[in-house]
Structure 1
Amino acid sequence: MSPSEIRVWAPDGVGEVRAGDDLAALVLPLVELADGDVLVVTSKVVSKAEGRVVSGTTREEALAGETVRVVARRGPTAIVRTRHGLTMAAAGIDASNVEAGSVVLLPVDPDASARRLRADVLGRTGRNVGVVVTDTAGRAWREGQTDIAVGAAGVLVAETFAGRVDAHGNPLVVTAPAVADEIAGVAELASGKLGARPFAVVRGRADLVLPAGEDGPGARALVRAEGADLFGYGAREAVVRAVLGQPADQAPFGTAVPAEDLAAVLRLVPGTEVVLEDDGVDVVDVRSDRPDAVAALAFAHGWRLESPAPDAGSAVMARLRPATT
């Protein structure tokens, strides 16, 4: 098989998975693994084997326990950030392919689940494979869903081409293919949603599989830290959070922007005069008849509004400082 060719297949024959089932014992009789293969498994069967099925509840009732914060709501749909750091509809809680009246929660630690399965395969077959645990997710600005990696072990989750040049000599600055997500997507093409084939094998990218004993950082490495994403809230939710200005809502907006950037935004408010202090401290003096707009814009850019000490000779109505100070 050439480096430009990959093979993907998903075996039939996996029955209903229940709490306590041995995933390696389920899949190994169905596939002949080779060193360098990537074994892909859906998070749903991992959750079922790990006892993450909750009976007598609905997705909505289970949502609060799986949510760190709500990112956006549109009607009955809630996009939330989970304790894994994932941003997903309904926290990845699934009510399909499960007994009526039950829901399946995501694994507690999908990376740890992947590590256990990888170790079991190595111990029973001697084969060094990577493992990717997948789940289905939507995409901003795109219709439809695709599978992504929510857990990984023994596989490079992202390649980096930063510092290299293309065929025309152009430098590659931020190119970093999320190969674990690409593996998840191609595996789903073979597994299908309704085929009862929760395992797939991807062969042909042994260069992405780490040596035995090296599990790598896992899929968690693909999750952006809170505040590092440009879209920490939905459009409507961002307006509400900025206007209310609660300190607990600050982190998703990110770290404080430079004073010059904040000044440029504040100058868009009619009647606002902005003066940067020249003593080296990132402080902005504001003269405005719209203190509400000034406060909201400051909050959204990581700054806080302070009332200055009374000064009969000054027209300054507010002073802004970075929220982290």
Structure 2
Amino acid sequence: MIAIHPLSDLPEIRAADDLPLLLRHSLESAGLWPPAAGDVLIVTQKIVSKAEGRLVDLETVEPGPAAVELAATVRKDPRLVELVLRESSAVVRAVPNVLITRHRLGHVMANSGIDRSNIGAGGGEQALLLPEDPDASALALRSALGGELAVVISDSFGRPWRHGVVGVAIGAAGLPSLVDRRGGQDRDGRRLEVTQIALADQVATAATLAMGEGDEGVPAVLIRGLPVPAGESGASALVRPLEEDLFR
């Protein structure tokens, strides 16, 4: 049976905190250590970014002409827009109160994933960037925790043509983020032609049920009993290459 265990006793994470050690203490306190087969640890992007020092003081940001012009269109702080442009490879959509970009890692998302909520700095003039390399961050966490747990770093994305946000994986280690079922068969013996399962995204979404999206204060979740298939690939495997873009 698959079980979702929230870890709610973590302190506010600061730059240079020993995040693996804090996570292990939390797992031990919850009676979830040592790891068992099928364990996946999901941690929010926010605590990884904070531990990696990705918090930026907007007072230190000087917006360029492109950011000032775009900020007038989207009605956002020009300093924030400057950070968004620095973190992105392209602007996908820019209208009042909406700025969708293609992040330098390939994710299409609002504001290049830059966040100003739940960052533990009193909000205000602070902004939090995504980890520099989320797959590398997930691998480092997995290694520091002994290499037995699979690790997924989650974020919340909106989706075209549907309201609301869901949890997605932006970093992963220790499991195949994308499970290719093409060439197999369904129950009627029909060949599967296009079925690829976004396993890391499914795990992230399941964890978000326990993490919440507001003031719940649950930045990490352990999923136990998941039948993890063999193989390993980072969350970058989930990003569709530009040449396969179906809607441009």
Q: TM-score range by the shorter chain?
A: 0.7 to 0.9
Q: Is 1:52–2:54 an aligned residue pair?
A: yes
Give the corresponding residue for 1:144: 164
- Deviation string 1:43-100 (CA, Å, 9 cap, x unpaired) is 1110000000001255323111111101112323111001111100100000001222
8 Å CA contact 1:130, 1:209 repeated in 2:
no
Secondary structure of 2:109's counterpart equals strand
Secondary structure of 2:245's counterpart equals coil
Counterpart CA distance in 2 for 1:59 and 1:146 is: 23
Q: Is 1:13–2:9 an aligned residue pair?
A: yes
Secondary structure of 1:146's counterpart equals strand
| Match of residue 139, structure 2, among 115, 133, 140 | 115
Give the corresponding residue for 1:311: none
Give the corresponding residue for 2:149: 129
Secondary structure of 2:7's counterpart equals coil
- Deviation string 1:215-242 (CA, Å, 9 cap, x unpaired) is x33000111112311124xxxxxxxxxx
Counterpart CA distance in 2 for 1:88 and 1:132 is: 18
Secondary structure of 1:54's counterpart equals strand
Alpha-carbon distance, 1:155 to partner? 0.8
Give the corresponding residue for 1:282: none
Give the corresponding residue for 2:116: 95
Counterpart CA distance in 1 for 2:196 and 2:37 is: 25
8 Å CA contact 1:9, 1:191 repeated in 2:
no
Secondary structure of 2:100's counterpart equals strand
Give the corresponding residue for 1:191: 211
| Match of residue 169, structure 1, among 186, 189, 196 | 189
Counterpart CA distance in 1 for 2:230 and 2:9 is: 26
Alpha-carbon distance, 1:30 to partner? 1.5
Give the corresponding residue for 2:243: 227
| TM-score, normalising length: structure 1 | 0.65
The one-letter code matched in structure 1 to 2:137 is S
Gaps of 5+ in 1: 211-215, 233-325
8 Å CA contact 1:42, 1:135 repeated in 2:
yes
Q: Is 1:201–2:217 an aligned residue pair?
A: no
Q: Which moved more, 1:57-66 or 1:183-192?
A: 57-66
Counterpart CA distance in 1 for 2:105 and 2:145 is: 25
Give the corresponding residue for 2:45: 43
The one-letter code matched in structure 2 to 1:49 is A
8 Å CA contact 1:36, 1:128 repeated in 2:
no
8 Å CA contact 1:152, 1:219 repeated in 2:
yes
Counterpart CA distance in 2 for 1:137 and 1:6 is: 24
Q: Which moved more, 1:46-55 or 1:8-17?
A: 8-17
Which segments of structure 1 move beyond 6 Å, counting only runs of 4 or more?
A: none
Counterpart CA distance in 2 for 1:78 and 1:65 is: 14
Alpha-carbon distance, 1:206 to partner? 4.0
Gaps of 5+ in 2: 60-78
Q: Percent of aligned positions with the same letter in both sequences?
A: 41
Secondary structure of 1:71's counterpart equals strand
Alpha-carbon distance, 1:205 to partner? 1.7
- Deviation string 1:14-39 (CA, Å, 9 cap, x unpaired) is 11101101111111112123233101
8 Å CA contact 1:59, 1:95 repeated in 2:
no
8 Å CA contact 1:158, 1:179 repeated in 2:
yes
Cα RMSD, aligned residues only: 1.5
8 Å CA contact 2:37, 2:225 repeated in 1:
no
The one-letter code matched in structure 2 to 1:138 is G
Counterpart CA distance in 2 for 1:51 and 1:208 is: 33
| TM-score, normalising length: structure 2 | 0.84
